Amino acid sequence: RFKRQWTADDIMWGNEFDTKLNLPTMAGAALKFIQHTIDPCLEADLHADRPWTRSPLIATMNTVSIENSPVQALNPSEPAPLPPWPSPNAEHIPENTAAGIPQNHHLEVNERRKYFKDPEHRKGCVVSPNQVYNFDFFNPFLDFENMQIKFPAVHLNINIMKYYNGEPLRYACKSRDHATSFFLVQFELKECAVGSSPHKA
């Protein structure tokens, strides 16, 4: 739930890093592959002093489910309580954006991404405090088990550890102007005892 009204064009999701990246030579080609095949809204500057990638949240998430929430807060100065989480046992969240899209359209994942590729469609989609947004978030290219980035379509695997500088992998949800931070998800590598499996925090 967002505490005040925004448009879908205002809310961005992506990676941010605090230091320059040691990038493989194929990084630029991999980025263009993602932009042309999976996330056409993706913007990035991988060579900046503080590199970043970002896309409109509603266009890039793997699954989006929007529900109207009639529940009101008992105290007007406090946010209304959230409804029960739809995935208490890690169930897949079904795609359902009908409550958040003008004309009450229901779109499948690929249709949603194509629809919200248009900035005018994103600007016309109002994100209201009376709605609750549920997301499934995963990255089909990141293989944490083998510490690789995989691009099966072009038969390319990149060893992450060869370029890893110790910095956490951070996904941040922020306003387009970076003035407001909504939430973040961060993965950190932790050293394990010899013989144990790697642990991601």
pLDDT at 147: 82
CA distance 64 to 85: 13
Smallest CA-to-CA distance from 172 within 76, 55, 75, 58 is with 55
Per-residue confidence band for 201, with pLDDT thresholds at 50, 70 and 90: very low
On whether the CB atoms of residues 74 and 81 are closer than 8 A, the answer is no
On whether the CB atoms of residues 107 and 101 are closer than 8 A, the answer is yes
Find where tokens 């009204």 sit.
Answer: 5
Q: Which two tokens stand for residue 165?
A: 């500088």
pLDDT (average), residues 22-41: 84
Is the model's pLDDT at 178 over the cut of 70? Answer: yes
On whether the CB atoms of residues 169 and 184 are closer than 8 A, the answer is no
In sequence order, the β-bridge partners of residue 96 are 65
Question: What per-residue string of b and e applies to 48-62 under the rule 16 or more CB within 10 Å gives b?
Answer: eeebbbbbbbbbbbe
Q: Give the highest mean pLDDT range of 3-12, 79-88, 142-151, 162-171.
A: 3-12
pLDDT at 73: 59
Smallest CA-to-CA distance from 156 within 21, 39, 30, 25 is with 30
Is the model's pLDDT at 162 over the cut of 90? Answer: no
The least confident of 1-15, 69-83, 96-110 is 69-83
Q: Give the highest mean pLDDT range of 36-40, 169-173, 186-190.
A: 169-173
Average pLDDT of the chain, as a whole number: 85
Rg (alpha carbons) of the chain, rounded to whole number: 19
pLDDT (average), residues 13-24: 91
Listed in sequence order, the DSSP H helices in 70-149 are 109-115, 119-123
Is the model's pLDDT at 37 over the cut of 90? Answer: no
Per-residue confidence band for 106, with pLDDT thresholds at 50, 70 and 90: confident
pLDDT at 72: 64
Is the model's pLDDT at 83 over the cut of 70? Answer: yes
**Element of type H or E holding 11:** strand 11-15
Phi and psi at 62, nearest 5°, equal -65, -45
CA 27 distance to own-chain centroid: 20
Is the model's pLDDT at 196 over the cut of 70? Answer: no
Q: In this predicted model, what pLDDT tens digit does every residue of 115-128 receive, in sequence order?
A: 999 999 999 999 99
CA distance 44 to 59: 15
Q: What is the DSSP string of 155-168?
A: TEEEEGGGT--S--
pLDDT at 25: 82
Is the model's pLDDT at 200 over the cut of 60? Answer: no
